[in-house]
Structure 1
Amino acid sequence: MASESTAKTDTSITEHLHELVLNSSDVEDFLTELAQVSARNLSEPGDEMLCAITLLRQRKAATVASSSPEAKALGLLEHQFAEAPNLTASTTRETVHVPDLGADGRWPEYSAAMAAEGVRSVVALPFHLEGETKAALLLYSRRPNRFDGRVLEFAEDFVSQTSLALRLAVRFAHYSETAANLRATLESRTVIDMAVGIIMAQNRCSQHDAFEILKTASSTRNSKLHDVAAAVVNALGQGPARTHYDG
């Protein structure tokens, strides 16, 4: 069972998860840290816990993070079976507990494969995410009945808190991607505006006519409008076009 020294309070766990969200460079980095934190919090001296995180999209599962290479191998082994704890937990969004693989008859082929790897007990805990994406945290132990009582309660509470942090990480990643796309759009727009201004000055034409000239050149050369605009700016002798958004 998880000892008091390894089981953090709800407050400290929440704070640590928030730190992970803020300090991780991307969602994959966050999930890897999360798998390692999960394994550490539930392991005991001489009884290392193995943790893998699987993602389910369009009924296809993939291991996206793990606490160790051995945990990753076990997560990949899960995907070789059409029915296994990770798929059941992800689709039903309910905890799946296998106290003793040697005595469980729900997934005989799966149980035999895991037992051959030295795994004796498994628990799959679903994350509560938004939308169609489903995921589960998998914990493996070489001891039977490893997740009984307080350990299972602690694991379920940990995943419940983790689900909120994971939702935040996914949202932050979405906002960062959106901001990057917006920045690229603004930079592209600025180069095009510069090129239009040059064409207006060179041809003494209106803004509309200058833009049409740029569009025609883009179509004729079968090149992107931004690339043609950059070529116009560079041809003026200014070198690579810089924008107000360059660092």
Structure 2
Amino acid sequence: MDDDGADVADVFAQLAVELHEEPGVEETVEAVLQFALQAVSCTHAGVALSQRRGQLETLAVTDPLIEQSDEIQRDSGEGPSLDVINGEDTVLVPDTGSDERYPIWAPKVAALSLRSVLSVRLQANGTALGVLQLSNTEPYAFEPDDDAVAHILARHASVALASARQEASLWQAIDARKLVGQAQGILMERFGIDGDKAFTVLRRYSQDNNIKLRDVAQRLIDTRKLPD
């Protein structure tokens, strides 16, 4: 990246535009990782999402080594990304070959040739979304400028991810409503009942059989009958 301040500002302006133009969560994350490889001194990058009970779900990586690092963290219950999800803003591991904070994770990751690791929190409205994970095959690879750039990147990524997640949830809700509406129409036509009664039939079947309302509607649309 050019040292000229205006050029750096242009790069992040371009980043913000491109992230917000991505159609979904997966595409947004892929764009984040590609920018990370260009803007920060990392050879590998990944994004892991925060799950219930402070667990990691690997969403996207530029190399399977990052996914292996995540798996080691999940199995051992220790690691920089877990610490970030559970409250830390940033965790830097200058050299996994000598780090003593993570006695299980660090030597295993060093054996994978991931020697420098920088984990930065992704969050929106005070809630952890996940972790931006940056690694280098050389120890002591990250400079203070890399940390600053990673945080700028993480802020842009957090906004884009939060927006993408909300949009994805919105479209899922819209699709579900459309499916239920179609299923109601089938029941109304077949049994001569109104929309409220048709919805009651779908909801009761959903509750009695412990099946999501959306799935009940989809089955009715596909088979033209409620499952036995």
TM-score, normalised via structure 1 length: 0.70
Match of 1:52 among 46, 50, 56: 46
Per-residue CA shift, 1:3-38, capped at 9, x if unaligned? 559966321110111122xx33xx234334433442
Matches within 5 A, 1:181-220: 181-197=176-192
Match of 1:161 in 2: 156
CA distance in 2, matches of 1:118, 1:230: 56
Identity %: 20
1:69 and 2:71 equivalent?
Answer: no
Whether the 8 Å contact between 1:99 and 1:148 is mirrored in structure 2 is no
CA distance in 1, matches of 2:125, 2:187: 39
Whether the 8 Å contact between 2:39 and 2:149 is mirrored in structure 1 is no
SS at match of 1:89: helix
**Counterpart amino acid of 1:50?**
H
How well do the aligned residues superpose, as a CA RMSD in angstroms? 3.3
CA distance in 1, matches of 2:2, 2:112: 26
**Counterpart amino acid of 1:142?**
T
**Counterpart amino acid of 1:39?**
L
Shift of 1:156: 0.9
Whether the 8 Å contact between 2:84 and 2:119 is mirrored in structure 1 is yes
CA distance in 2, matches of 1:227, 1:17: 38
Whether the 8 Å contact between 2:49 and 2:129 is mirrored in structure 1 is yes
Match of 1:200 in 2: none
SS at match of 1:88: helix
Matches within 5 A, 1:15-164: 15-20=17-22, 23-24=23-24, 27-42=25-40, 49-57=43-51, 58-129=53-124, 134-164=129-159
Point out where structure 1 has 5 or more consecutive residues left out of the alignment: 198-206, 232-247
| Bigger Rg, structure 1 or 2 | 1
Shift of 1:117: 1.1
SS at match of 1:104: coil
Match of 1:235 in 2: none
1:13 and 2:15 equivalent?
Answer: yes
Point out where structure 2 has 5 or more consecutive residues left out of the alignment: 210-215
SS at match of 1:80: helix
